[in-house]
């Protein structure tokens, strides 16, 4: 039986599921994967937009209030996500290895502490994906530094989903590789800022280095 955070204690055969519920469950899965693919393509398009955008103050400072609000919410959730991954990692080699151990431990022993951590991680990762998608449908190319940060965080969210959603592990692993390649492309066309930065973006960058 696959690890299932939604219903970890009950095992049943697929034949026991009413067709209508099975159909809804399947459709929702397909919609989620489609949204994830659209999100990535949006970031790919944003990279192209930035590449050909005139690098002047007028272009890169044309951010509306909706973008600023979405960015603020994203940064809050991203900070919680990073702190949770650091907590899960502990003194382990990597948070990915520890996350795999936790899922296995929970499945074998029904460990409540592991369950609590995994549920928190699932919920915060879902929220983070929502804001990553929301920003992808706005003018994210106007904030190239945030664009690069998102391509890093997207890789980690894909790793988390790959582990806790075994049914889509290959999809999220491939999506992670795509975000990795996109980040490499952005690293070439978006130069590093030499001056010391302050604020939430700086904290996110520091947090990303903790693992």
Of residues 123 and 14, the one with the higher pLDDT is: 123
Confidence (pLDDT) at 196: 34
pTM: 0.76
Asked if the structure places residue 8 within a domain, the reply is no
In this structure, is residue 2 part of a structural domain? no
Range of the domain at 116: 14-208
pLDDT tens-digit map of 77-89: 999 999 999 888 8
pLDDT tens digit string along 148-186?
A: 999 999 999 999 999 988 888 999 999 999 999 999 999
Q: Which long-range contacts (CB under 8 A, 24 or more apart) does 185-193 make?
A: 185/47, 186/47, 186/144, 186/147, 186/148, 186/151, 187/148, 189/47, 189/50, 189/51, 190/50, 190/144, 190/145, 190/147, 190/148, 193/145
Top pLDDT among 192 and 116 is at: 116
Q: Is residue 7 part of a domain?
A: no
Tell whether 5 is covered by a domain: no
> For residue range 90-139, what is the model confidence (pLDDT) as tens digits?
766 678 888 888 776 554 445 677 778 888 999 999 999 999 999 999 98
Question: DSSP alpha helices (H): ranges in the chain?
Answer: 19-52, 57-60, 65-89, 95-109, 112-136, 144-164, 169-189, 200-208
Which phi and psi (to 5°) does residue 199 adopt? 100, -170
Residues above pLDDT 90, as percent of the chain: 42
Confidence at 30, pLDDT banded by 50, 70, 90:
confident
Exposure string over 12-23, b if 16+ CB within 10 A, otherwise e = eeeeeeeeeeee
Mean pLDDT over the full length of the chain: 78
- In-domain check, residue 181: yes
Q: Does residue 80 form part of some domain?
A: yes
pLDDT of amino acid 6: 47
Distance CA 156, CA 142 (A): 23
Angle (deg, nearest 10), helices 144-164 and 200-208: 40
Total number of domains constituting the chain: 1
């Amino acid at each position: 039986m696959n690890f299932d955070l939604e219903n970890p204690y009950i095992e049943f055969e697929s034949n026991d599921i009413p067709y209508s519920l099975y159909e809804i469950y399947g459709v929702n899965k397909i919609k989620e994967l489609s949204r994830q693919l659209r999100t990535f393509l949006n970031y790919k398009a944003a990279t192209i937009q930035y590449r050909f955008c005139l690098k002047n103050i007028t272009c890169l400072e044309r951010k509306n209030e909706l973008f600023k609000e979405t960015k603020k919410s994203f940064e809050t959730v991203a900070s919680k996500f990073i702190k949770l991954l650091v907590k899960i990692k502990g003194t382990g080699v990597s948070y990915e290895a520890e996350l795999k151990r936790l899922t296995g431990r929970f499945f074998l022993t029904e460990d409540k502490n592991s369950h609590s951590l995994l549920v928190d991680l699932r919920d915060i990762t879902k929220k983070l994906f929502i804001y990553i998608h929301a920003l992808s449908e706005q003018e994210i190319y106007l904030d190239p530094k945030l664009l690069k940060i998102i391509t890093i965080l997207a890789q980690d969210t894909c790793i988390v989903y790959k582990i806790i959603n075994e049914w889509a592990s290959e999809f999220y692993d491939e999506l992670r590789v795509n975000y990795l390649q996109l980040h490499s492309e952005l690293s070439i066309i978006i130069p590093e800022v030499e001056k010391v930065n302050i604020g939430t973006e700086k904290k996110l960058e520091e947090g990303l280095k903790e693992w």
